[in-house]
């Protein structure tokens, strides 16, 4: 009997290995596993699999990688690895080329690939050679994109004119260069949740959502108020169909937004509107079973002021699912004090229906004095 059990285990392991082999299609940086899990790099497999990624969601999200990536461009080209010399077909994702390429420089020397991929044979990244045939093909494709974009105002999505710039300073040639940039920064500052969030964005745009969620989960483990990571996790999980969990993250993003300072007021409002748009869709899709708006309890956890919680409960907005601008006044309520940073012309004053609920009369009176204070300072 025991032998039988052992045999079964062996069979199961073989099956797992087969699944893992399939996972290795895209390649994962051992350094990411080491930094996210705290394991010494020497003890991490040189060719990690999705199963080795720490966190709740990488494996779940990996199952949906095709649907998740359908919004991104596909540019498959044969490249030769500079490390091992072997060829492979890789999806370079969105390609960016500078608007003006200098005389004598070929566009193929200047392009940037946003896709994240590593060598299928040796798991190296960033050292790629393009054969002359591929260079010609690519040059043709890029030239076509340039002509298309100068004629049409609508940008073609698989090739964009412009430059990918990180921190106004660094121009990554490949998605893996952008990863290196953030992993190096995280090496010096591993607890920085914002850096983890930005690394997640690099993976997401690089068509690697399973790596993106790994990074977003790391961000949230370090800062429970990392609103951008909450939103991104929620959006990805919603796209995978995990509506309940997605809605929890999205409601959290809305509830915590008022204390998030790493986005401008304008961008923060955009994020809240996007979160509310997805939440509204989930709410309708589930016949109102999943809450759209943060519950008073969720708001309290996010230290949303009591008076403002009361205000949100009493609000009765007219929301038109087809017009996202109807969500702006609601989004501004959830911005809390950061709402005041919006330029007056941009601000959509909340329209209270029935009883006046917002702004609270008490608040309005309290807001009047600052004018006098300003004069006093001078
Ligand atoms: Zn290689």
Taking every pair of Cα atoms in the chain, the longest distance, rounded to a whole number of angstroms, is 89
Calculate what percentage of the chain has a pLDDT beyond 70.
76
Q: Is residue 171 part of a domain?
A: no
Q: What's residue 300's pLDDT? A: 86
Distance (angstroms) between ligand 1 centre and the Cα of 86 equals: 6
Q: What is the pLDDT of residue 8?
A: 36
Domain span holding position 235: 224-367
d(CA 247, CA 291): 8
Domain membership flag for residue 156: no
Residues 6+ apart with CB under 8 A from 320: 326
| Residue 80 lies inside a defined structural domain of this protein | no
- Residue 246 domain flag: yes
351 within domain boundaries:
yes
State the residue for tokens 């020397």. Answer: 109
- For residue 234, give the nearest of 199, 200, 202 by alpha carbon: 200
Cα 209 to averaged position of ligand 1 atoms, centre (Å): 23
Mean pLDDT of 230-256: 98
- Contact between residue 252 and residue 286 where contact means Cβ atoms under 8 Å apart: no
| Assigned token pair, 64 | 């949906």
Rounded to the nearest angstrom, the distance between the alpha carbon of 121 and the centre of ligand 1 is 5
Q: How far apart are CA 209 and CA 85, in angstroms?
A: 28
CA 262 / ligand 1 centre spacing (Å): 38
Find, among 206, 340, 210, the residue nearest to 269 by Cα.
340
Predicted confidence at residue 30, as pLDDT, reads: 97
pLDDT tens-place string over residues 77-104: 899 999 999 999 999 999 888 766 555 5
Mean pLDDT of the chain: 82
Query: What are the structure tokens assigned to 198, written together?
Result: 């930005």
Residue 139 lies in a domain: no
Residue-wise pLDDT for 189-215, tens only, equals 999 999 999 999 999 999 999 999 999
Domain count, the chain: 1
Distance of CA 24 from the midpoint of ligand 1 (Å): 13
Strands 76-81 and 87-91: antiparallel
- Is the separation of the CB atoms in 269 and 231 below 8 Å? no
The answer to whether residue 28 sits within a structural domain is no
Q: What pLDDT score does 246 carry?
A: 98
Q: How far is CA 12 from its chain centroid?
A: 34
pLDDT tens for each residue of 32-44: 999 999 999 999 9
pLDDT, residue 309, reads: 66
More confident residue, 372 or 278: 278
Query: 66 or 367: whose pLDDT is higher?
Result: 66
- Lowest-confidence region among 125-134, 137-146, 171-180, 336-345: 137-146
Ligand 1 midpoint to CA 219 (Å): 31
Residue 369 has pLDDT above 60, yes or no: no
Position 288 scores a pLDDT of 93
**Residue 91 corresponds to which tokens in the numbers above?**
């999806």
- State in Å: Cα 134 to ligand 1 middle: 18
What average pLDDT score do residues 306-310 get?
67
Band the pLDDT of 259: cuts 50, 70, 90.
very high
Distances, alpha carbon 161 to alpha carbons 102, 151, 173, 224, in Å: 14, 13, 15, 37
- What pLDDT is stored for residue 315 in this prediction? 60
pLDDT higher than threshold 80 for residue 110: no
Distance 247 CA to ligand 1 centre (A): 41
The answer to the question of residue 62 being in a domain is no
CB within 8 Å of 111: residues ≥ 6 apart: 95, 96, 97, 138, 142
Question: What span, in angstroms and rounded, lies between the C-alpha atoms of 81 and 38?
Answer: 29
351 vs 327, higher pLDDT: 327
> Ligand 1 mean position to 127 CA, how many Å?
9
Q: Distances in Å between the alpha carbon of 353 and those of 83, 175, 312, 315, 317? A: 66, 49, 12, 7, 7
> 24: pLDDT confidence band, cut at 50, 70 and 90?
low
């Amino acid at each position: 009997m025991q032998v039988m059990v052992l045999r079964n285990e062996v069979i199961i392991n073989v099956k797992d290995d087969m699944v893992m082999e399939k996972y290795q299609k895209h390649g994962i940086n051992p350094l990411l596993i080491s930094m996210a899990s705290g394991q010494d790099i020497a003890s991490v497999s040189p060719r990690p699999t999705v199963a080795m990624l720490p966190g709740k969601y990488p494996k779940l999200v990996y199952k949906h990688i095709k649907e998740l990536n359908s919004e991104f461009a596909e540019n498959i080209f044969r490249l030769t690895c500079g490390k091992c010399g072997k060829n492979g077909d890789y999806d370079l994702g969105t390609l960016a080329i500078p608007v003006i390429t200098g005389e004598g420089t070929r566009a193929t020397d200047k392009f940037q690939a946003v896709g994240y991929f590593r060598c299928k044979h040796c798991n190296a990244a960033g050292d790629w050679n393009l054969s002359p045939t591929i260079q010609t093909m690519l040059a043709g494709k890029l030239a076509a994109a340039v002509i298309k974009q100068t004629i049409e105002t609508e940008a073609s999505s698989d090739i964009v004119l412009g430059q990918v710039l990180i921190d106004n300073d660094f121009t990554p040639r490949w998605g893996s260069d952008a990863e290196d940039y953030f992993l190096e920064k995280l090496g010096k500052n591993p607890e920085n949740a914002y850096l983890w969030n930005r690394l997640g964005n690099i993976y997401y745009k690089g068509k690697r959502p399973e790596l993106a969620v790994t990074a977003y989960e790391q961000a949230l483990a370090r800062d429970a108020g990392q609103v951008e990571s909450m939103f991104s996790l929620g959006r990805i999980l919603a796209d995978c169909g995990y509506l309940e969990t997605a809605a929890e993250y999205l409601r959290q993003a809305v509830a915590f937004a008022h204390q998030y300072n790493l986005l401008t007021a304008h961008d923060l409002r955009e994020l809240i509107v996007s979160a509310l748009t997805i939440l509204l869709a989930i709410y309708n899709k589930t016949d109102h079973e999943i809450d759209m708006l943060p519950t008073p309890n969720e708001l309290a956890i996010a230290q949303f002021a009591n008076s403002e919680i009361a205000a949100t409960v009493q609000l009765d907005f007219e929301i038109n699912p087809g017009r996202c601008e109807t969500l702006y006044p609601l989004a501004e309520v959830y911005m809390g004090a950061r709402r005041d940073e919006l330029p007056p012309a941009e601000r959509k004053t909340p329209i209270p229906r029935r009883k006046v609920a917002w702004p609270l009369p008490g608040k309005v009176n309290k807001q009047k004095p600052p004018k006098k204070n300003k004069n006093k300072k001078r």
